[in-house]
Chain A
Amino acid sequence: MNHGLGKGVLINMYYYVKSLQYPINIRNRNPRLAKVIISQYGGPDGELGASLRYLSQRFGMPDKKSKAILNDVGTEELAHLEMVGTLVHQLTDGASPEEMEAAGMGPYYTDHGWGVYPQAAAGFPNTAASIAVKGDPIADLTEDLAAEQKARATYEKLIDLCKDDRDVVDVLKYLREREIVHFQRFGEALNGVQEKLYQRNCYLSGGNNNNNNNCGCRNN
């Protein structure tokens, strides 16, 4: 069987590419913006939660399309996590403790210095309680649609708060647009799952369960 034309990078694990998904070069240090942007690193609608949500839910998906889209969007979210961390790093890099404190980051500086810690803007640490993995494709994909909209809304609030810095807004706009694309793709995956549910004798109990060998709807 011919599976393709060609060569590519072959490493059998997640591997690092020494490149951001979108270029970030913030010219003006500004810890005040980092204080709120960090919410998309470790907050309830942030990129860490997004990647863990999709990469965990994928194991329970019943069909080809939903497995693939959760795998691939979850992977892209890891790249977005790196981008948000980069924003926080560049906005705080070189700031004195006094600057950090004046920007309202005194408590953060106390616990984390110039490191990037996964926390919400309000200061609480990242928690898996802000994501869900129900093991039910309709419930999980519906949660994912809401998650993308919440992330979009968060980026819009951040753009409001960061509007004086064009370098930062440019990156936030890019990340916001990706949430919209992901929402679209998850909607298509959900439609696919629902179409299968409308067929007769179809059991979507998740994963590769062995009871569906005779199910005509799984012949793809």
Chain B
Amino acid sequence: MSCNNCQNNTQCPYRNSGNNSSCNCSNNRSQREMFNEIMALNFAINDLALYLDTHPDDMNAIRMHCAYSERQISLTEEYQRLYGPLTINFMSDTWDWIDEPWPWERGAY
């Protein structure tokens, strides 16, 4: 009943819970698809930030920045829980930070 991510990842708290709807990592998305969305969100947040630096009163842009950032925070949290840390302050029982691949390595994306 659990989604593909849950079945493949022993650390997912929703694994084998039999409750698909409570699993935030559902949509049956692969690691690659999740990571691509995080990259896209990070790009959008950064580009909006540059725009807002010179247009700080644009409320529409601020709303977009909030929406993307909220999604980015929750998705990044979920991704790290499933696949390992993206920043050094992500808490874990094991030091997965040194696990390959690093972003510059061929095949990392």
Q: Is the interface on chain B under 10, 10 to 19, 20 to 34, or 35 or more residues?
A: 20 to 34
**Does A136 count as interface, using CB distance less than 8 angstroms?**
no
Q: Which residues 48-68 of B sit at the A interface, judged by CB distance below 8 A?
A: 49-51, 53-56, 66
> A192 — nearest CB in chain B belongs to which residue?
B54
Q: Which residues of B contact A40 (CB under 8 A)?
A: none
Q: How far in angstroms is the closest Cβ of chain A from B57?
A: 11
Q: Which residues of B contact A17 (CB under 8 A)?
A: 42, 86-87
> A116 — nearest CB in chain B belongs to which residue?
B104
Q: How far in angstroms is the closest Cβ of chain B from A142?
A: 16
Cross-interface CB contact of A90 among B54, B86, B104, cutoff 8 Å: B104
Docked-complex contact A21 and B39, CB < 8 angstroms: yes
**Does A200 count as interface, using CB distance less than 8 angstroms?**
no
Docked-complex contact B69 and A8, CB < 8 angstroms: yes
Q: Beyond A5-B66, A24-B109, A65-B56, is A19–B86 a contact (Cβ under 8 Å)?
A: yes
Interface centre among B35, B38, B105 (most CB of A within 10 A): B105
Interface centre among A8, A19, A73 (most CB of B within 10 A): A19
**Does A156 count as interface, using CB distance less than 8 angstroms?**
no
Q: Which residues of A contact B108 (CB under 8 A)?
A: 25
Chain B at the A interface: SS class: helix
Q: In the assembly, what is the distance between CA of A182 and CA of B47, in Å?
A: 10
Q: Which residues 15-66 of B sit at the A interface, judged by CB distance below 8 A?
A: 35-36, 38-39, 42-43, 46-47, 49-51, 53-56, 66
Cross-chain pairs A/B with CB under 8 angstroms, 16 sampled: A9-B87, A17-B86, A18-B86, A18-B102, A19-B103, A21-B42, A21-B46, A24-B109, A25-B106, A25-B108, A73-B50, A82-B103, A85-B104, A185-B50, A185-B54, A192-B54
Not counting A15-B88, A18-B86, A185-B54, a sample of 16 additional A-B residue pairs whose C-beta atoms are within 8 angstroms of each other reads: A11-B89, A15-B87, A18-B102, A19-B39, A19-B42, A20-B104, A22-B39, A68-B53, A72-B46, A76-B50, A85-B104, A93-B106, A188-B54, A188-B55, A189-B53, A189-B54
Q: B-contacting residues of A (Cβ < 8 Å)?
A: 5-11, 15-26, 64-65, 68-69, 72-73, 76, 82, 85-86, 89-90, 93, 181-182, 185, 188-189, 192
